[in-house]
Structure 1
């Protein structure tokens, strides 16, 4: 989607962190931007960052797990700026800890926000994009934990792997249409994911004997140097570039190259070393893109780091 000026973007989890970085990049590129978030106070603070500018940014309150709320929020956004062309499904929560100790409530909170928050956005907005027929783009935030497992964050990785599969399948479905699809895999970014996870967790999904502060980020200085993390502003520019290039995958950190190669090489090594059954392959080929998907061929190498 090369021409984004004048288009309307709707961003979930847009009041802080990566979502706010996207809002800044999109607005500065000439888009009309609607940021949504579950926290009204966070929305108010985010709008303050745009005060005194002539950038077209508005805010609507949205709990991404609320399907009726999605319809209301989108209708409000459309009343402000018209048809929505860019959907950034960015809202998420960071559930950490061993899978062996996770409760149903942990799983439910994780799935409802990190998976169904994306699903609800697609069900609400994708038909509207198809109906208005104008060039559009959908980008969903996965994570580097969406292609490389992290032992201390199994629930989170499960959801982020799901988002990646969802976006790759949607890109395959919409291939040839005027709706582009990207999956965003950010690495370490300066965000408030730890504190926002606790602040937005509803009481009915808290574990018994679990105070509100239990899953907040630890107090005091972090155990590592977060000054080297990427800024939300740079992240926003990288997502914008990915949309303009119609990238299937939007990556941020070259430090994860070895991990990507290791996982894919492991999959290749696990393939049976035996003759191919051509008769079976002929039947399976009729399943569509199960054996080979050409969408991967369209991902090109970035020209350079310039944003």
Structure 2
């Protein structure tokens, strides 16, 4: 990479970076000059992300990381500090989707959903902010919400609850950092129908009794005003902007990348 990128010299941490949107974000940030710590529970796929980044001339390394575990967060942040000395960008991306009718959803599934999608984001914010403040140049926290954090969806009550929680957690923390004048900006991103592995866990509600994931092209042509599905790169481009100094005046905002899905 001959030219300096839009996040050159910055250190980023991307959770859930082994696949889907997380991998797209890791690759995009690295391509624009960031050193990326990729974390996930899928170790083989995480290594593949790092290999792809490295092959493209970028810098990345991988750590196993269960985002629901506070001690794991402490270890990951300590490792980032030890290796890189600072943290400029946190992409709280790790997430799961559990599809079930609210009257049939088990409490353990509800808690697993909130554990990853909400506790994981809270812990990331809690443990990343002190290192960002210590770095002296502020930072950018990008929390991955969803269009399901803006509108309701049948059989996704748990997912909607967590993604709605991420949306307002983001705004509250943005105000806390603004009050502290610490230079840390906090924003949420709301993807629509994006081609990622998470759809494999969402059973199609269009065909009762069907156990197959939905056909994203058919779903998009029907539900999305632009008529097409999105790709991880579409989300990564928005994350890159929020991670860069180009968005220096943006905090507490929600960036919706959904082909118009929530507007209709």
Deviations 1:241-297 (A, max 9, x none): 2333244222212413525xxxxxxxxxxxxxxxxxxxxxxxxxxxxxxxxxxxxxx
Please give the TM-score of this superposition, normalised by the length of structure 1.
Answer: 0.72
- Offset of 1:3 from its aligned partner? 6.0
The structure 1 residue matched to 2:217, chosen from 225, 228, 233, is: 225
User: RMSD value over aligned CA atoms?
Assistant: 2.2
Q: 2:258: which partner in 1?
A: 253
- In the other structure, the counterpart of 2:13 is 10
Deviation at 1:82, TM superposition (A): 2.2
| Offset, 1:195 | 4.6
Residue 268 of structure 1 is matched in structure 2 by none
Displacement of 1:106: 1.1
Distance 1:196 1:8 in 2: 32
Give 1:149 shift. Answer: 0.7
Cα distance between partner residues in 2 of 1:189 and 1:108: 25
| Secondary structure at 1:50 match in 2 | helix
Counterpart of 1:112 in structure 2 is 115
Residue in structure 1 matching 2:155, options 118, 143, 152: 152
After superposition, the Cα gap between the structure-2 partners of 1:225 and 1:171, relative to the gap in structure 1 and judged at 3 Å, is same
Residues 19 and 224 of structure 1: CA distance in aligned 2, closer, same or farther (over 3 Å): closer
Query: Where does the alignment leave 5 or more consecutive residues of structure 2 unmatched?
Result: 203-209, 221-227
The verdict on how the C-alpha distance between 1:179 and 1:171 changes in structure 2, with shifts beyond 3 A counting, is same
Name the CA distance, whole Å, in 1 between partners of 2:154 and 2:171.
24
Residue 236 of structure 2 corresponds to 236
- Once the two structures are superposed, the pairs formed by residues 134-173 of structure 1 within 5 Å of their partners are 134-173=137-176
1:150-299 to structure 2, matched below 5 A, reads 150-175=153-178, 176-195=181-200, 218-219=211-212, 222-225=214-217, 228-244=228-244, 245-246=247-248, 247=250, 248-259=253-264
Counterpart in the other structure of 2:70 = 67
1:60/1:77 contact within 8 Å kept:
no
Q: 1:53–1:170: structure 2 CA closer, same or farther, 3 Å change rule?
A: same
Q: 1:173 to 1:116 in 2, by over 3 A?
A: same
Match of 1:130 in 2: 133
8 Å CA contact retained: 1:145, 1:161: yes
- How far residue 174 of structure 1 moved from its aligned partner, in angstroms, is 1.8
Partners of 1:224 and 1:19 lie apart in 2 by: 19
How far residue 232 of structure 1 moved from its aligned partner, in angstroms, is: 1.0
Structure 1: runs of 5 or more not aligned: 198-216, 260-307
**Which is further off, 172-181 or 97-106?**
172-181
Give secondary structure in 2 for the equivalent of 1:59. Answer: strand
User: Residue in 2 aligned with 1:265?
Assistant: none
